Structure 1
Amino acid sequence: MLNFLKNMSLLPKGLKYKTMIAFCLMSIIPLLICVWLVTTYIFPNTGLFLGLSIGNISVILIISVIISLLGLHVTEQMIDPIVKMAGDAKGIADGNIDKVIKIVAEDEVGDLGTSLNIMTQKIRDNIEELKAYGERTKLMNMEINKKVIALSSLLQIGNLIAASEELGEILNFISRKISDVENDSISFIMLLDKETGDLKVVSSVNLQGEFGDFSLNRTDLTPHIHVIDAENQGPSPGLKKIIEQFDLKNIVITPIIVHGKLYGILAMGNKEMDFTFEPDQKELLKVFTKQATIAVENDLLIKKSQELAIVDELTGLYNQNYIHTRLDEEIKRALMYQRPCGYLLIDIDGFKAIHESLGEKKSGDLLKAAAEILRSSVTEVDKVARLEVDTFAIVLPEKNKKQSANIAEGVRKNIEDRLSNVLKVSEKITVSVGMSENPIDGSSADELMQKAEALLRSAKSLGKNRVAV
């Protein structure tokens, strides 16, 4: 019954059909009624027309008005949804995509409203998808930016290593970059202390708590990556000690392996709850650890090469390592063949004040000039070395105490007479000399050096610019 009434009504009809009905109700039907009245009552029979009751005519006119009003209502029902939909469409065009058009009738206007609703729903879906894509893009950009910073940091670390910068400076740079890349996380580096054999903190960023005296036994850690976070628990004794010392919730540690042994660790951590380290964070720390390992190995090689080197870079003289070895060899030879060997320890008087007065460059020139004067004051058999900044030594094979004393006095006088002129300074530059001889003052290199040092201190205390024998 409801379907029948619905089919009989105008609701399921189209705009064209409704327009025809409205036009008929408003114009054609009333017009036909008026024509019928005229032809029936006016022209055929005037008397009958005059005899027509006012009531009949009123009823006919009222019916015509009702039919016209009905047509107006149909027209209004047809136009109002269009006007309302036009307003809704304008709102959607202005950005109100959450607007849902209410469908009143199943006609062309209803189809248009349904289409607009479908279109706005797709727009909403697309906007949500774009937002999600934007978030993913933002995360991707952050990851790319992080990798660019990491790559740039690795290049900078490589440049520092290539330039043979101090190990401490390189490790501090690595700690800072790890913290920068990982959103200001805590980072620190521990290296082997040769005296104690334990690991000690040598570089850190954002690390809180006392760590100056903190140390870690190498046996507390294995040479593998260690992770403590929301997904990884059960720390080793070493990790537990670190976490308790620095009040950390999460930490990842990678080992610094040198010559197959644990030489140190590089660590990154934070105090966040329910935190898990991502795989790329662990990989990044491994890369930084490789750079730190290279820096440590490079530093060890530099120190080893310095130990093996026999020539002082500034003056071209032999260095302390060589002169100690050479003196020891000469003493052994002298004892074997019962021959003497002299040793001179020479120190420039007041060098600290001279350095402050002349500056770094001229002070270097002074040391070079002093080295040349010393070299020219002895024979080719004698060995001249620079031990410290302003301290020199000369090994005098086959020279007894008297001969060594004469050479020492000649060295002192040459420095006093020539060094000021070479540098073109007004004040005299002098040296104090301590002299020892084998076998009278000792039968080893250490004994002769200690004796010469004591005599040098004596010469200084007696007024400088003299030889103490």
Structure 2
Amino acid sequence: MLSGRKKRDLSLLSRGLKYRLKISFYLIFLLPFLISVYLLSNYVFPRAGLPGELFVSLSISMIIAIIGFFLIKEVFDRVLTIALEARLIAAGDISRKVEIERSDEVGDLGEALNQLTQRIRSNMDELKSYGRKTTQINMEIQKRVLALSSLLQISSLVSEGAELKDILDMAVDKAGLLAESEAAYLFLKDKESDSFLIKFAVGHGGDNLLGMKINASDAVFGSLLTRGDIFVADADHKKAADSFSQRFRFRNTLAVAVPLRNEITAVLGIVNSKEDFTYEDDDAELLDIFGRQISIAIENDFLLHKAEKLEIRDALTGLFNENYINGRLDEEIKRAILCQRPCSFVVFDIDDFARFRREFGAISAEISLKKVAGVIHDVISEIDRSGRTADNEFSVIMPEKNKRQSKEIADVIRGKVEEMFSAEPEPGRRLTISAGVSENPLDGITARELIERARSSVNLAKAQGKNKVV
């Protein structure tokens, strides 16, 4: 009986593809050919007829040829199977796997194809991972670009000297674009009560936040107001999130302090109501940058108003400005009361000046304002003080003059203005002024009282037909 090793040696299954193809070739072509030659030479040609041995021999030859055919077919079927799998994989179906039937050249080819497919799958998984990371990086870049663009817009408003309200409106609105926020808010410090009120709120539900108040002893924002810590309420800070949501109707918030001269003057925050939401460090960093911009805007506004208070001259006309006139009038009233002397106050207002500006433009309006200011300055005395106290309003403090004397001077100014503009060829350019006069103590004992009375008299002069002194 043959041993297992010898059986394997004799078996075609354990042989290589080249060996099996050679055997198949012999079985199909060579052996049948030799047998046919032998039979023809020994049986057909020497004698006539077809003996039974010849029939049997031919049958055996046919069987051998058929066996060889199926051996070759089996080899080519496996090769075709691998070729089909390769085409499917090349078409994009990398989930396929070649079944290895036996270890030979075809099996090695299938194994190599499987390894190649596995490597492609691994590479594809890596590419997908890199794609996700790239998408995340792109989102972070877009977020920072958006934040930078918003900061540039805010900086532009600050540099243009826009109103603080407009700047804060934009800053809060742009902050609301961070971290999937639903709304954004800004607390401003109320100096009288030393508490913080939400003065600006944008976004969905932002109106519900307006007017809400916090202070340094607040259970939610206390550490932020006292130490300037960043306040976070989200899934990682559930206790803070619970406390915040009970009062403010939002689940999550991120808030930063806005300092001004080592004192917290505002609090900027963003909110949303998403479940299991957490803020990233980048969100806090970007919000803090917005907070710094707000701090710059508030400080710039503070310095601007301080400079305006220090400035005493009107930039257009060269006369004194409103702050100076109001302060000087207070001083003159006190001196007049102390010395028992009169002090008058005169207000001039250009008639129909709004219409004039609309019809002839801002440049013509400014030229006219300068002309009127020049007439006033030339007529009054050295001890009098004239100023531009509104767009088309001028005022004159007249110490040592009673109401009658002041009215006479005011009427001279009115006449000179009328005469100056009467030479204009277009009727619409012929400006006039109306004036109102008040005197201390007859019409008041404070600057506010004299100013209000003089302005009321101006309104009366306009009601009586304009170009009058009342």
TM-score range, shorter chain: 0.7 to 0.9
Change over 3 Å in CA distance of 1:96–1:350 after alignment to 2: closer
Deviation string 1:183-235 (CA, Å, 9 cap, x unpaired) is 56422323234566543444333231644862313333323321111001333
Q: Secondary structure at the match of 1:344?
A: strand
| Residues 369 and 422 in structure 1, CA contact (< 8 A), matched pair in contact too | no
The CA RMSD over aligned residues, in Å, is 3.2
Q: Secondary structure at the match of 2:238?
A: coil
Query: 1:64, CA displacement in angstroms?
Result: 2.5
Change over 3 Å in CA distance of 1:70–1:399 after alignment to 2: same
Taking only the aligned residue pairs, the percentage that are identical comes to 37
Cα separation, 1, equivalents of 2:208 and 2:398 = 50
Query: 1:162, CA displacement in angstroms?
Result: 1.1
Matches within 5 A, 1:364-375: 364-375=366-377
Cα separation, 1, equivalents of 2:463 and 2:62 = 138
1:75 aligns with one of 72, 77, 90: 72
Equivalent residue number for residue 86 of structure 1: 83
Matches within 5 A, 1:95-114: 95-114=92-111
Cα separation, 2, equivalents of 1:459 and 1:28 = 135
Cα separation, 2, equivalents of 1:87 and 1:440 = 112
Equivalent residue number for residue 431 of structure 1: 433
Bigger mean CA deviation after superposition, 440-449 or 338-347: 440-449
| Residues 198 and 215 in structure 1, CA contact (< 8 A), matched pair in contact too | no
Query: 1:250, CA displacement in angstroms?
Result: 1.1
Deviation string 1:127-159 (CA, Å, 9 cap, x unpaired) is 121122112112111211221222222222222
Change over 3 Å in CA distance of 1:424–1:212 after alignment to 2: farther
1:206 aligns with one of 198, 203, 207: 203
Cα separation, 2, equivalents of 1:307 and 1:211 = 37
Equivalent residue number for residue 305 of structure 1: 307
2:392 aligns with one of 383, 386, 390: 390
Equivalent residue number for residue 330 of structure 2: 328
Bigger mean CA deviation after superposition, 99-108 or 333-342: 333-342
Structure 1 counterpart of 2:189, which letter?
L
Q: Secondary structure at the match of 1:467?
A: coil
Change over 3 Å in CA distance of 1:319–1:143 after alignment to 2: same
| Residues 187 and 205 in structure 1, CA contact (< 8 A), matched pair in contact too | yes
Query: 1:357, CA displacement in angstroms?
Result: 5.0
1:14 aligns with one of 9, 13, 16: 16
Matches within 5 A, 1:19-418: 19-37=21-39, 54-183=51-180, 185-193=182-190, 198-208=195-205, 210-211=207-208, 214-219=211-216, 220=218, 221=221, 222=225, 223-235=228-240, 240=244, 243-244=245-246, 247-418=249-420
Query: 1:88, CA displacement in angstroms?
Result: 2.6
Q: Secondary structure at the match of 1:234?
A: helix
Structure 1 counterpart of 2:239, which letter?
G
Q: Secondary structure at the match of 2:176?
A: helix
Query: 1:173, CA displacement in angstroms?
Result: 2.1
Change over 3 Å in CA distance of 1:413–1:70 after alignment to 2: same
Query: 1:284, CA displacement in angstroms?
Result: 0.6
TM-score (norm 2): 0.86
| Residues 351 and 432 in structure 2, CA contact (< 8 A), matched pair in contact too | yes
Deviation string 1:409-451 (CA, Å, 9 cap, x unpaired) is 2123223322444695457543333333445655553454455
Q: What number of residue pairs does the alignment pair up? A: 460
Query: 1:298, CA displacement in angstroms?
Result: 0.9
Deviation string 1:389-417 (CA, Å, 9 cap, x unpaired) is 33321112333444333222212322332
Change over 3 Å in CA distance of 1:268–1:426 after alignment to 2: closer
Change over 3 Å in CA distance of 1:207–1:34 after alignment to 2: closer
Cα separation, 1, equivalents of 2:333 and 2:195 = 39
Q: Secondary structure at the match of 1:387?
A: strand
**Structure 1: any 5+ residue segments left out of the alignment?**
none
Structure 2 counterpart of 1:120, which letter?
T
| Residues 241 and 252 in structure 2, CA contact (< 8 A), matched pair in contact too | no
Structure 2 counterpart of 1:331, which letter?
I
